[in-house]
Amino acid sequence: GQQVMQIPQYQHVQEGEDFTTYCNSSTTLSNIQWYKQRPGGHPVFLIQLVKSGEVKKQKRLTFQFGEAKKNSSLHITATQTTDVGTYFCAVTNFGNEKLTFGTGTRLTIIP
Amino acid sequence: EAQVTQNPRYLITVTGKKLTVTCSQNMNHEYMSWYRQDPGLGLRQIYYSMNVEVTDKGDVPEGYKVSRKEKRNFPLILESPSPNQTSLYFCASRPYLSGSGPQHFGDGTRLSIL
């Protein structure tokens, strides 16, 4: 089945530092989505990337889709306490309706 | 308000006692799915449905059943629950857009099977 590696599993950063999580697939992807789950909450959709090399920004968050459409990253600039949570990538292969989630990166912020 | 509603939110039960977790969405979405979330394993898809009367297995379907008789409802059935099905379960829905589109998640159901 689809293999999705997400690294790191955990990240502790000082408030104000940057944070990056990476998602890597063994196969070429149709698209990739990113979700955020706050502690005790449910996953909330952040963004979807479809095109090779695509870069999208949401305020302090920058999302990139690799040229080969096999990897993606989420970068947060100048983290704030509101960024605490687990960030998941979720991938779809061509011709397949299954959405496969990565194992997630849990971000904690040291005030 | 657009939402996905799961019930119950919490359930403690015993091995072998059949249970159903209900899921309902009010967004007229074609696609619905069930996930389980376990520490270190992320979210794993159990079953999904692309429309009424159309269901398919996800990555971990063993021990679960689903049905999609109406567009808005997608119940998850555990015919004979076992302790290894203790987990946090999420239902989700999205419009059918051929493999894409944001999923809307319910608040989750925490099941403990003793």
At B3-45, the pLDDT tens digits run 999 999 999 999 999 999 999 999 999 999 999 999 888 899 9
For CA atoms B83, B87, B91, B92, the dihedral sign is: negative
All residues of chain A having their beta carbon less than 8 Å from the beta carbon of residue B35 are: 101
Going by pLDDT thresholds of 50, 70 and 90, the confidence category of residue B98 is low
Q: Do A42 and B31 touch (CB under 8 A)?
A: no
* Backbone φ and ψ of B15, nearest 5°: -55, 135
Q: Which residues contact A46 (CB under 8 A, 6 or more apart)?
A: A33, A34, A35, A36, A58, A61, A63, A74
d(CA B105, CA A19): 25
pLDDT of residue A98: 77
Helices (H) and strands (E) in chain A, counts: 0, 11
For residue B71, the SS3 value is coil
pLDDT of residue B96: 73
d(CA A92, CA A87): 17
pLDDT of residue B55: 94
* Backbone φ and ψ of A82, nearest 5°: -70, -10
* Backbone φ and ψ of B82, nearest 5°: -130, 160
Residue from the list A31, A43, A44 with its beta carbon closest to the beta carbon of B43 = A43
Closest CA to A46 of A81, A21, A13: A21
Shortest Cα distance, chain B CAs vs residue A42, angstroms: 6
* Backbone φ and ψ of A83, nearest 5°: -85, -5
Q: Do A42 and B107 touch (CB under 8 A)?
A: yes
pLDDT of residue B99: 57
Q: Does A30 touch chain B (CB under 8 A)?
A: yes
All residues of chain A having their beta carbon less than 8 Å from the beta carbon of residue B107 are: 41-42
Residue from the list B35, B99, B103 with its beta carbon closest to the beta carbon of A45 = B103
**Which class for A3: exposed (0-12), middle (13-18), buried (19 or more C-beta within 10 A)?**
exposed
pLDDT of residue A92: 84
Residues of chain A with pLDDT under 50: none
d(CA B79, CA A78): 49
Pairing verdict, β B10-13 and B109-113: parallel
By C-alpha distance, the chain B residue nearest A34 is B102
Q: Does A1 touch chain B (CB under 8 A)?
A: yes
Closest CA to A20 of A61, A68, A80: A61
Longest dimension (CA), chain B: 40
pLDDT tens-digit readout, B62-96: 999 999 999 999 999 999 999 999 999 999 999 87
For residue B85, the SS3 value is helix
pLDDT of residue B61: 96
Secondary structure of chain B: what % helix, strand, coil (to 5)?
Answer: 5, 50, 45
